[in-house]
Structure 1
């Protein structure tokens, strides 16, 4: 499965990258209004931003497919993660800005089921397998779900999003002690931070987080201005996405290195020598 990238480390940390992909399989690509629109809401450059994680011994799991094909961070039952608020579904039919993704009709139930079997289920089989493998090595592990989004998306939230948005579903997906050390790592840097604000954790965080079984899941949603330029004019293929900027990203990478270090320290503190 060339769309599924798995790097196996031995440290008690998994970094999940569910929204960094931009690939559109041939059998569905022609159904979209345009490739650009079908990839516009990707978590741009996040896999590059976190590429230091492997050197820390972390396992990474990533899909190269666009979230517009199927979103592996949504409840497969179709239930909303944020009832009463706008959010995209398992097979999104519109962008964050409400623009139709499909030229004609949206995917049928049969097509959604096909995509789930082809791409959603294997992604989660991989995550499940890596969790089991690492739990065989460690008494507790951290599953860190990495995301980003434009700083201003009126349909999703008011105003400008804080730089660092921690999601633990109200401290049900991990031990509150993990939340505290991640907060401390964030607050030691120059960026704004909120915990369980607009983004409380997606389906991956909520589904896999079982602190009583040694699996502590936490989501980090970054406002993209921490490592690339936010759009200052209408989104077009010429203006979005903006480039990844090494100098701009450096302070954010420093903070994220501290965050992942805190995750590892927490996990190892609960493991037997």
Structure 2
């Protein structure tokens, strides 16, 4: 059974929310994997039910960060599902074996993620099931990149560049969620690519605040950051990117992919964290 629509109005590929009173701090928050609009041609390409596909989402992370614009910080979120296009991959992380026609070699960027079926156009779902019963035409991949991947990164790049220009520096909080079984006992995993994508003072401040809130917080294990932190994080140029992974068991029934009472609580705690760190974080940033 193919997925069914779960939205009456197409929200477009990307949602950008700017603070009503204008941006007040050099921070941007993003949610690349919480999209849940499965409508369109994807419905006719996969035979999996919606419940199977949704287990690949960082479900409802967009709702975890939805109060942040009220604190003077813009947000960007993908509305399309991760199994359709994964924007936390490089555009060239394409698996040529997925396509019935030839893919130009210069477009391909080999990676372990692509080989495992989790490239920019995923071949498998989160539980390892093949998404398609046949090979696709490469034009399908190109359409997805044009309609989803590039609009998301164009929006995120614009926000980060605007922030850096206005404040002299920018911090990107790239927010994700992780399965409970892969969290290794952590509530929060911060990924700064072992200090390469973010000034240690920024990572230290965020880590300390999460711990003060009572969260078991670790850094870079098992998630050190993906394409977004690697490509946007340029501390030497004033742009700091850190990935924030939240244990799904804190707010989600993972089997049903339905929020629990923990969602409202965690949303409040997220806003509290941002409200506490936004000024000291601004003060500690070296500006260019």
TM range (shorter): 0.7 to 0.9
Q: Secondary structure at the match of 1:146?
A: strand
Assess if the C-alpha contact under 8 Å between 1:93 and 1:100 holds in 2.
Answer: yes
Assess if the C-alpha contact under 8 Å between 2:55 and 2:254 holds in 1.
Answer: no
Matches within 5 A, 1:1-273: 2-9=12-19, 10=23, 11-33=25-47, 34-78=49-93, 79=109, 88-102=118-132, 104-152=133-181, 157=182, 160-231=184-255, 240-246=256-262, 249-250=264-265, 253-254=268-269, 257-258=272-273, 261-270=276-285
**Are residues 88 and 256 of structure 1, via their aligned partners in 2, closer, same or farther at CA, if it must alter by over 3 Å?**
farther
Assess if the C-alpha contact under 8 Å between 1:148 and 1:222 holds in 2.
Answer: yes
TM-score normalised to the size of structure 1? 0.84
Q: Which segment drifts farther, 215-224 or 185-194?
A: 185-194
Provide the aligned length of Structure 1 versus Structure 2. 257
Assess if the C-alpha contact under 8 Å between 1:142 and 1:263 holds in 2.
Answer: no
Instruction: Quote the Cα distance in structure 2 between the aligned partners of 1:25 and 1:32.
Output: 12
Assess if the C-alpha contact under 8 Å between 1:139 and 1:214 holds in 2.
Answer: yes
Instruction: Quote the Cα distance in structure 1 between the aligned partners of 2:121 and 2:64.
Output: 26
Instruction: Quote the Cα distance in structure 1 between the aligned partners of 2:200 and 2:111.
Output: 21
**Are residues 172 and 38 of structure 1, via their aligned partners in 2, closer, same or farther at CA, if it must alter by over 3 Å?**
same
Aligned match of 1:237 = none
Unaligned runs of 5+ in 2: 1-10, 94-108
Instruction: Quote the Cα distance in structure 1 between the aligned partners of 2:83 and 2:42.
Output: 10
Assess if the C-alpha contact under 8 Å between 1:227 and 1:252 holds in 2.
Answer: no
**Are residues 135 and 84 of structure 1, via their aligned partners in 2, closer, same or farther at CA, if it must alter by over 3 Å?**
closer
CA shift digits 1:94-139 (9 cap, x unpaired): 122111222x124443321221111101111111111121122101
CA shift digits 1:195-246 (9 cap, x unpaired): 0001111111111001111111000011111123344xxxxxxxx1133315
**Are residues 147 and 30 of structure 1, via their aligned partners in 2, closer, same or farther at CA, if it must alter by over 3 Å?**
same
Instruction: Quote the Cα distance in structure 2 between the aligned partners of 1:263 and 1:249.
Output: 21
TM-score normalised to the size of structure 2? 0.80
Instruction: Quote the Cα distance in structure 1 between the aligned partners of 2:117 and 2:157.
Output: 25
Aligned-pair Cα RMSD in Å:
2.5
Q: Secondary structure at the match of 1:136?
A: helix
Unaligned runs of 5+ in 1: 232-239
Assess if the C-alpha contact under 8 Å between 1:168 and 1:219 holds in 2.
Answer: yes
Q: Which segment drifts farther, 110-119 or 216-225?
A: 110-119
